[in-house]
């Protein structure tokens, strides 16, 4: 290569070093077992997903979550057609995905917030996620200036009619790709820690049969909304918008996400699922016991 470009070995080395520093070039060692292709094929056949990305599970839940987030970041960066608009939800897994995304993964992408944010700072900060994804794509950001869940349905409806918020949700609704992580219903939820939901709300959701949330919308085992009153207090894309997305990529890691991952797939809320081996095996078992309709 040096001879063809009339460069010395030293010059080639210096250029490669600069390219690595700027993110133009990446050097990776990809282990042949980094993805479980047999499980991926099996999951697609059983569930009707367009695609499944499955990575090894670890005994440490945090390590598993990081591996799934990295796999989702790689999948996004490797899409055949780079999205011009990317709608994203937020959470701890999405934070790790943003940190894992490759520099210059795309060029000129508009990253838009798919649902409202946090009432106060907490883990999974949407601003940091959106800003990082856009910066690494030399793109722009579009934020949704409202909490994920507000005090009343009337307030939520008024916010959604506000022109600046309506514009953002409109862009998110028409995005080329919708990317979101699935959340569990627990007292440790980011929505609870941030003050968007109360412990009483969590208790009520569990009593109504909620198994988790997709883009801030709490669903039951059948993938339908479980508590219309709380759903009416939510600001962002509706569940119907998620189901109608051009390409919806759901990310789920760990045993706490088994039920919500199943519900998401059964309801057709995602085209692609990025997950870990244990979750994939469990979903395969559940879809054998109760095939998709």
Both 181 and 123 in one domain: the answer is yes
Tally the C-alpha atoms within 13 A of residue 127's C-alpha that lie toward its C-beta: 8
CA end-to-end distance (rounded Å), the chain: 56
Residues 205-215, mean pLDDT to the nearest whole number: 95
Examine the domain organization and report whether 6 and 130 are in the same domain: no
Contact yes or no for 107/82 (Cβ under 8 A): yes
Residues 94 and 2 in one domain: no
Task: Count up the domains in the chain and report the number.
Answer: 2
What CA–CA distance (Å, rounded) separates 165 from 114?
A: 11
At residue 96, the pLDDT reads 95
| pTM of structure | 0.86
Render pLDDT for 59-89 as a digit per residue (tens, 0 to 9). 999 999 999 999 999 999 999 999 999 999 9
Name the region of 272 (left: φ>0; alpha: ψ -120 to 50; beta: rest). Answer: beta
Asked whether residue 14 falls in the same domain as residue 63, the answer is no
Q: Are residues 134 and 256 in the same domain?
A: yes
Residues 23 and 107 in one domain: no
Please answer whether residues 89 and 216 qualify as being in contact, where contact means their C-beta atoms are separated by less than 8 angstroms: yes
Averaged pLDDT of the chain:
90
Q: Decide if pLDDT at 27 tops 80.
A: no
Answer yes or no: do 100 and 236 share one domain. Answer: yes
Residue 102's CB: how many other CB atoms inside 10 A?
16
Mean pLDDT for 234-240 is 96
Range of the domain at 21: 1-30
At 211, which CATH number? 3.40.50.1360
Task: Say whether both 26 and 36 belong to one domain.
Answer: no
Distance CA 246, CA 240 (A): 12
State the pLDDT confidence band at 33, using cuts at 50, 70 and 90: very low
More confident: 162 or 194: 162
Quick one: 172 and 149 in the same domain?
A: yes
Question: Do 23 and 115 share a structural domain?
Answer: no
Report pLDDT for 119.
67
Instruction: Assess whether 238 and 100 both reside in one domain.
Output: yes
For residue 61, give both structure tokens.
């839940």
Q: How far apart are the C-alpha atoms of 69 and 90, rounded to whole Å?
A: 12
- pLDDT-derived band of residue 5, with 50, 70 and 90 as boundaries? low
Answer yes or no: do 146 and 106 share one domain: yes
Is the pLDDT at 274 greater than 80, yes or no?
yes
């Amino acid at each position: 290569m040096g001879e063809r470009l009339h460069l010395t070995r030293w010059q080639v080395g210096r250029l490669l070093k600069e390219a690595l520093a700027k993110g133009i070039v990446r050097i990776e060692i990809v282990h042949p077992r980094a993805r479980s292709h047999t499980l991926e094929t099996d999951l697609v056949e059983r569930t009707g997903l367009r695609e499944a990305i499955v990575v090894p599970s670890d005994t440490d839940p945090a390590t598993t979550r990081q591996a799934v987030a990295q796999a989702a970041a790689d999948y996004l960066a490797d899409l055949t057609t780079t999205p011009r608009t990317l709608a994203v939800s937020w959470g701890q897994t999405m934070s790790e995905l943003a940190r894992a995304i490759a520099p210059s993964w795309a060029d000129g992408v508009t990253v838009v917030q798919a649902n409202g944010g946090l009432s106060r700072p907490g883990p999974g900060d949407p601003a940091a996620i959106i800003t990082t994804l856009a910066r690494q794509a030399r793109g722009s950001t579009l934020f949704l200036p409202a909490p994920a869940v507000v005090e009343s349905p009337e307030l939520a409806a008024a916010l959604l009619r506000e022109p600046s918020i309506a514009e953002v949700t409109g862009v998110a609704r028409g995005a080329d790709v919708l990317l979101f992580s699935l959340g569990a219903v627990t007292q440790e939820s980011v929505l609870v820690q941030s003050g968007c939901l109360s412990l009483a709300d969590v208790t009520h959701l569990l009593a109504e049969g909620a198994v988790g949330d997709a883009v801030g919308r709490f669903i039951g085992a059948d993938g339908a909304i479980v508590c219309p009153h709380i759903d009416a207090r939510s600001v962002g894309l509706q569940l119907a918008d998620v189901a109608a997305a051009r390409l919806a990529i759901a990310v789920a890691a760990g045993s706490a996400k088994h039920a919500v991952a199943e519900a998401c797939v059964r309801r057709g809320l995602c085209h692609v699922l990025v997950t870990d081996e244990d979750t994939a095996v469990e979903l395969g078992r559940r879809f054998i016991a109760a095939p998709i309709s």
